[in-house]
Amino acid sequence: MAESHVITGLVAKRSEVGGLIAHYQQEITRLQNDLQHLDATIKLFDPEYDLRTIRSKPVRQRNKYFAHGEGHRLMLEALRKLGGQASTVQVALAVLTRKGINAEHQSGVHHCLDGVLRRAASSGVVTVVGRDETGIIWKLADLPQ
């Protein structure tokens, strides 16, 4: 026989999830109506405009560990302190220490910094020099002064 406190907890959770679903369905309906009004307004100004050519703008999740640009700045600071070359794990540990973040958040910070390092590599700020057992090894690029 099921425990009554377990059933009570599950019923409460189901009620919460049902409420969230109803809320987001209403929000979807509202946004679809807004989209239809925008489409009609575009067509009012330019009846020949092909609405299918408009791409949806992706929604980005806000980073909970770093303020805007802080991850990049801390990553550069950590790489400099680590001699200009380090693995993603070493950079993440240095940033964890610098920010005073608990080690339980290491995987989240590591994931964020991995993205920061990859974006920095695409802009030429850092380069990949190899791999070790902990992952990719990054090096500060030799930038002109």
Q: What is the pLDDT of residues 86-98, one digit of tens each?
A: 999 999 999 999 9
38 pairs with which residues across the strands? none
Taking phi over 0 as left and psi of -120 to 50 as alpha, with beta for the rest, 135 belongs to left
Query: In the sheet where 85-87 sits, what is the strand order?
Result: 85-87, 135-140, 126-132
Residues of the chain with pLDDT under 50: 145
Whether the pTM exceeds 0.75: the reply is: no
Q: Which residues contact 130 (CB under 8 A, 6 or more apart)?
A: 136, 137
Which amino acid is residue 65, in one-letter code? Y
pLDDT at residue 143 in the model:
56
Q: Cα–Cα–Cα angle for 122, 128, 132, nearest 5°?
A: 145
- What's the pLDDT score for residue 68? 86
pLDDT at 145: 44
- Report the pLDDT value the prediction gives residue 144, as an integer from 0 to 100: 55
Q: Which residues of 98-126 are buried (b: 16+ CB within 10 A; e: fewer)?
A: eeebeeeeeeebbebbbebbeebbeeebb
Cα separation, 98 vs 108, whole angstroms: 16
